[in-house]
C-alpha cells in the first residue's frame, strides 16, 4: 500500500479581508482558509502534516515565521505538497515565485498548489500561468508602495507628523492627528544637553554625565512610558552615547520645525532604509512648539561646526562614518596614537563593561580592504564576463520586443483616438443618434484606457530594464576604474563600500573579524 502524500497547509491574512474580533483570535479569513484547504486535502487523500498561518503579515514580507517554517520543511523533504488558497497568499514577489515555486520546489520534489487560481506545479503548461500571477502580484505590491509613499509625502509637505513614534522630547497630540506636543519630562533632558554643550562640555562627557545620573536614554525612556518600541540589545542599548547626543544637537525638530523624509527605503521589497541627502528632506517650519529657543540653538550650531576637526590638511578620514562596532553597532571613532590612526568603539569610552569593543589600526584596515577589493575585481572581470555578456544579450532582446509592442499599442491607441473624434463628427452631422454616440464613445474610451494601461506597463518594464542595464554597466565601469590600485582613498570607500563591521581580536586565533558590506 502506497504511503499517503504529506501536505503542509499555508494561510496568510491579506489586508483587504482583515476581520478580527480581538488581537488574540485568528481572523475570519484565516479560519475560512484553514477549513477550505483542510477539506480539500482530506478529499484528495493527503495526510496533513500541519497547518501554518501568518496573520498580520504582507505578502512581500520574507520574515514571516510560518512561511519560513514551511520552506524549511520543503527543503528537508519532510512534506510532499504545499497547499495555499492562492499563489499570492504564499508570496506576492515574482522573485520568490521563480526561486521557489518554479525552481527549488521542483528540485526538491515538492508540489505547490494554489487552489483558487489553479497554480499547480504538477500540471504541464501551468508555469506561464504562475509567472503571470507572480507578475500581477508584483505590480500590485509596487503600486501599493507608490500609493502609500504619495500619501505620506503629501502629509509631510503639509507639516503633519507621519512617524509611528514621536521624537524624544515630544509626544503625539491625542486631540490633533499629525501634531506634536512637548513631553515635559523628556524635554528637560533635551534642554540640559543643549545647555551643557553651550557651557563647553563635549558630547562624550555629556553622555557620561547623563549615564552617571541614571537618566534613561531615549529608547529606554520610551519603553518605560509603555510605548511599543524595539527593545535594546544588552547593556549598551540603555546608555546615552556620543552619537545620540550629536544627533540631538543638530535636530531642527527641537526649534519647532518638522523634519521628515531623512531616510528612504531601498525598494518596496525591502524594509531596509538608507539616508537621503539633506536637500531631499521635507522640512516645514513652525509646526509645533519648540523646546530650544533660537538664540541657544544658534550658539550651539556655531560650536558644533567649529568643533568639527577633519584630518591634517582638511581631509576627512578614509573610513569616516563607514565602520561599525560588531557588538553594539555604533560608528567607530578615529583617534591618533603616535604616528598611526586607530578606529575604536565609542561605547567603551562611556561604559567599559557594556561592550566588548572594537579597535583596529586604520593602516591594517586599508590593507584588508584593498586585498578584498582586488580579489573582487579579479573574480568579476574574469569569472563573470561570460555571464555578463549573456545578461546584456537578454536585455537587448527584451528591449527590442518591448519597443515593438510599445509601437504597436501606440498605433492602436492613435486609431482609437481618431475613431472617437470621427464619432463626434458623425453625431454633429446626425449620422448617428446621441444615444448611439454615447454608447460607442463609452466602449471605445474603455478600450483606449485598457490599451493605455498596458502601454504604460510596457514602458515601465522597458525603463526597468534600462535601469538594470545601466547598473550592470556602472558596476563594470567602477570595478575597471579601480583595477590594480595600490592605495585606498576616501572616494573609493564612498563609491564602493556601504559599511564595515569590525570586531575585537580573538584571543586564540589572534585574528580580528572584519566584514565588508560592498555597494556593488
Q: Which three cell numbers stand for residue 171?
A: 509626544
Instruction: Return d(Cα 487, Cα 484) in angstroms, integer.
Output: 9
Same domain, residue pair 59 and 143: yes
Q: State the pLDDT at residue 170.
A: 94
Instruction: Return d(Cα 350, Cα 369) in angstroms, integer.
Output: 29
Which residues, in sequence order, are CB contacts of 399 under 8 Å at separation 6+?
Answer: 462, 465, 466
Same domain, residue pair 417 and 448: yes
Q: Which three cell numbers stand for residue 396?
A: 537587448
Q: State the pLDDT at residue 394.
A: 66
What's the chain's average pLDDT? Answer: 79
Distance of CA 373 to the CA centre of its chain: 26
Same domain, residue pair 118 and 202: no
Look up residue 272 and give its DSSP letter. -
**Cα distances (Å, whole numbers) of residue 205 to 35, 37, 193, 306:** 62, 62, 10, 18
Q: State the pLDDT at residue 389.
A: 57
The verdict on residue 479 lying in a domain is no
Q: Stretch 215-236: mean pLDDT, rounded? A: 76
Cβ neighbours, 10 Å, residue 149: 14
Instruction: Return d(Cα 156, Cα 176) in angstroms, integer.
Output: 15
Q: Which of 425, 452, 469 is the last residue of a domain?
A: 469
Helix (H, G, I), strand (E, B) or coil at 37: helix
The verdict on residue 313 lying in a domain is no
**Side by side, which strands form the sheet with 81-84?**
47-54, 6-12, 81-84, 111-114, 119-120
Q: Stretch 262-288: mean pLDDT, rounded? A: 73
Look up residue 165 and give its DSSP letter. S
* DSSP β-ladder status, 6-12 and 81-84: parallel
- How would you label 358-391 residue by residue, b for 16+ Cβ within 10 Å and e otherwise? bbbebeebbebbbeebeebbeebeeeeeeeeeee
Same domain, residue pair 20 and 143: yes
**Cα distances (Å, whole numbers) of residue 475 to 168, 215, 325:** 41, 48, 28
Same domain, residue pair 143 and 12: yes
The verdict on residue 352 lying in a domain is no
The verdict on residue 269 lying in a domain is yes
* DSSP β-ladder status, 514-518 and 47-54: unpaired
The verdict on residue 426 lying in a domain is yes
pLDDT band at 381 (very low <50, low <70, confident <90, very high): low
Q: Which of 281, 308, 335 is the last residue of a domain?
A: 308
For the chain, give percent helix, strand, coil, nearest 5: 50, 15, 35
Higher pLDDT, 20 or 94: 94
Same domain, residue pair 14 and 142: yes
Same domain, residue pair 176 and 303: yes
pLDDT tens profile 99-143: 888 889 988 999 999 887 778 888 776 555 555 554 555 555 555
Question: Is residue 38 pLDDT above 70, yes or no?
Answer: yes
Q: State the pLDDT at residue 249.
A: 94
The verdict on residue 461 lying in a domain is yes
Higher pLDDT, 370 or 393: 370
Q: State the pLDDT at residue 311.
A: 44
Angle, CA 202 vertex, CA 196 and CA 207 arms, to 5°: 75
Instruction: Return d(Cα 67, Cα 54) in angstroms, integer.
Output: 7
Q: Which of 252, 275, 308 is the last residue of a domain?
A: 308
Same domain, residue pair 174 and 302: yes
Range of the domain at 268: 170-308
* 101: CATH: 3.40.50.1390
Q: Are 207 and 169 spatial neighbours (Cβ–Cβ below 8 Å)?
A: no
Same domain, residue pair 302 and 226: yes
Helix (H, G, I), strand (E, B) or coil at 256: coil
Higher pLDDT, 187 or 21: 187
Q: Which of 40-54, 341-355, 453-467 has the lowest mean pLDDT?
A: 341-355
- Residue recorded with cell 560608528: 331
* 184: CATH: 3.90.1750
Question: Is residue 310 pLDDT above 70, yes or no?
Answer: no
Instruction: Return d(Cα 204, Cα 359) in angstroms, integer.
Output: 18
Closest listed residue to residue 224, CA positions, set 244, 238, 210:
238
Distance of CA 94 to the CA centre of its chain: 17
pTM beyond 0.85: no
Q: Which of 128-142, 183-197, 322-336, 347-361 has the lowest mean pLDDT?
A: 128-142
- Phi and psi, residue 163, nearest 5°: -75, 165
Closest listed residue to residue 502, CA positions, set 366, 391, 305:
366
Instruction: Return d(Cα 127, Cα 103) in angstroms, integer.
Output: 11
Handedness of CA 294, 299, 305, 308 (dihedral sign): negative
Q: Which three cell numbers stand for residue 127?
A: 508555469
Question: Is residue 409 pLDDT above 60, yes or no?
Answer: yes
pLDDT band at 228 (very low <50, low <70, confident <90, very high): low
pLDDT tens profile 441-500: 788 888 888 888 888 888 888 888 777 666 666 666 667 777 778 888 887 888 788 889
Instruction: Return d(Cα 269, Cα 260) in angstroms, integer.
Output: 22
Say how many CA atoms lie within 13 Å of 386 toward its Cβ: 1
Q: Stretch 134-159: mean pLDDT, rounded? A: 65
pLDDT band at 57 (very low <50, low <70, confident <90, very high): confident
Instruction: Return d(Cα 60, Cα 89) in angstroms, integer.
Output: 10
pLDDT tens profile 391-407: 556 667 777 888 888 88
Instruction: Return d(Cα 516, Cα 365) in angstroms, integer.
Output: 10
Q: State the pLDDT at residue 262.
A: 80
The total of structural domains in the chain comes to 3
Q: State the pLDDT at residue 185.
A: 94
Instruction: Return d(Cα 111, Cα 121) in angstroms, integer.
Output: 6
Instruction: Return d(Cα 480, Cα 457) in angstroms, integer.
Output: 35
Q: State the pLDDT at residue 26.
A: 46
Q: Stretch 35-54: mean pLDDT, rounded? A: 89
The verdict on residue 486 lying in a domain is no
Cβ neighbours, 10 Å, residue 422: 11
The verdict on residue 73 lying in a domain is yes
* DSSP β-ladder status, 273-275 and 323-325: unpaired
Same domain, residue pair 16 and 142: yes
Same domain, residue pair 15 and 143: yes
Q: Stretch 89-97: mean pLDDT, rounded? A: 78
Same domain, residue pair 183 and 249: yes
Quick one: 23 exposed, middle or buried, by C-beta within 10 A (0-12, 13-18, 19+)? exposed
Amino acid at each position: 500500500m502506497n504511503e499517503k502524500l504529506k501536505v503542509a497547509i499555508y494561510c496568510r491574512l491579506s489586508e483587504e479581508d482583515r476581520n478580527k474580533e480581538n488581537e488574540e483570535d485568528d481572523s475570519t479569513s484565516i479560519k475560512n482558509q484553514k477549513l477550505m484547504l483542510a477539506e480539500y486535502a482530506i478529499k484528495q487523500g493527503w495526510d496533513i502534516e500541519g497547518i501554518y498561518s501568518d496573520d498580520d503579515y504582507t505578502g512581500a514580507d520574507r520574515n514571516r515565521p510560518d512561511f519560513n517554517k514551511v520552506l524549511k520543511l520543503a527543503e528537508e523533504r519532510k512534506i510532499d505538497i504545499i497547499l495555499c488558497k492562492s499563489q499570492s497568499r504564499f508570496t506576492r514577489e515574482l522573485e520568490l515565485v521563480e526561486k521557489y515555486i518554479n525552481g527549488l520546489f521542483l528540485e526538491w520534489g515538492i508540489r505547490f498548489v494554489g487552489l483558487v487560481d489553479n497554480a499547480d506545479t504538477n500540471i504541464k503548461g501551468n508555469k506561464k500561468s504562475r509567472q503571470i500571477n507572480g507578475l500581477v502580484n508584483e505590480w500590485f505590491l509596487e503600486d501599493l508602495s507608490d500609493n502609500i509613499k504619495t500619501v505620506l509625502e503629501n502629509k509631510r509637505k503639509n507639516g503633519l507628523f507621519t512617524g509611528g513614534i514621536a521624537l524624544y522630547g515630544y509626544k503625539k497630540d491625542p486631540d490633533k492627528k499629525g501634531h506634536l506636543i512637548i513631553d515635559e519630562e523628556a524635554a528637560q533632558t533635551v534642554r540640559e544637553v543643549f545647555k551643557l554643550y553651550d557651557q563647553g562640555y563635549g558630547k562624550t562627557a555629556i553622555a557620561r554625565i547623563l549615564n552617571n545620573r541614571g537618566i534613561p536614554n531615549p529608547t529606554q525612556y520610551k519603553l518605560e512610558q509603555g510605548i511599543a518600541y524595539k527593545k535594546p540589545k544588552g547593556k549598551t542599548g540603555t546608555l546615552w552615547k556620543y552619537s545620540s547626543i550629536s544627533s540631538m544637537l543638530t535636530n531642527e525638530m527641537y526649534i519647532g520645525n518638522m523634519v521628515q523624509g531623512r531616510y528612504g527605503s531601498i525598494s518596496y521589497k525591502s524594509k531596509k532604509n538608507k539616508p537621503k541627502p539633506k536637500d531631499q528632506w521635507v522640512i516645514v517650519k513652525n509646526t509645533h512648539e519648540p523646546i530650544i529657543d533660537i538664540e541657544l540653538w544658534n550658539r550651539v550650531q556655531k560650536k558644533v561646526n567649529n568643533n568639527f576637526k577633519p584630518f591634517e590638511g582638511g581631509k576627512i578620514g578614509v573610513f569616516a562614518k563607514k565602520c561599525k562596532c560588531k557588538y553594539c553597532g555604533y560608528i567607530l571613532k578615529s583617534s591618533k596614537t603616535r604616528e598611526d590612526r586607530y578606529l575604536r568603539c565609542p561605547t567603551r569610552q562611556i561604559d567599559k563593561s557594556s561592550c566588548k569593543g572594537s579597535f583596529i589600526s586604520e593602516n591594517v584596515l586599508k590593507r584588508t580592504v584593498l586585498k578584498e577589493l582586488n580579489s573582487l575585481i579579479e573574480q568579476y572581470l574574469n569569472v563573470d564576463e561570460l555571464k555578463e555578456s549573456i545578461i546584456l544579450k537578454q536585455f537587448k532582446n527584451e528591449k527590442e520586443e518591448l519597443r515593438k509592442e510599445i509601437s504597436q499599442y501606440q498605433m492602436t491607441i492613435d486609431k482609437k483616438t481618431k475613431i472617437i473624434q470621427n464619432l463626434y463628427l458623425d453625431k454633429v452631422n446626425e449620422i448617428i443618434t446621441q444615444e448611439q454616440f454615447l454608447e460607442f464613445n463609452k466602449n471605445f474610451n474603455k478600450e483606449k484606457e485598457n490599451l493605455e494601461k498596458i502601454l504604460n506597463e510596457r514602458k515601465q518594464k522597458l525603463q526597468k530594464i534600462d535601469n538594470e542595464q545601466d547598473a550592470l554597466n556602472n558596476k563594470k565601469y567602477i570595478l575597471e576604474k579601480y583595477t590594480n590600485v595600490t592605495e585606498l582613498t576616501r572616494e573609493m570607500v564612498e563609491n564602493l563600500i556601504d559599511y564595515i563591521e569590525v570586531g575585537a581580536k580573538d584571543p586564540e586565533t589572534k585574528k580580528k573579524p572584519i566584514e565588508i558590506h560592498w555597494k556593488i
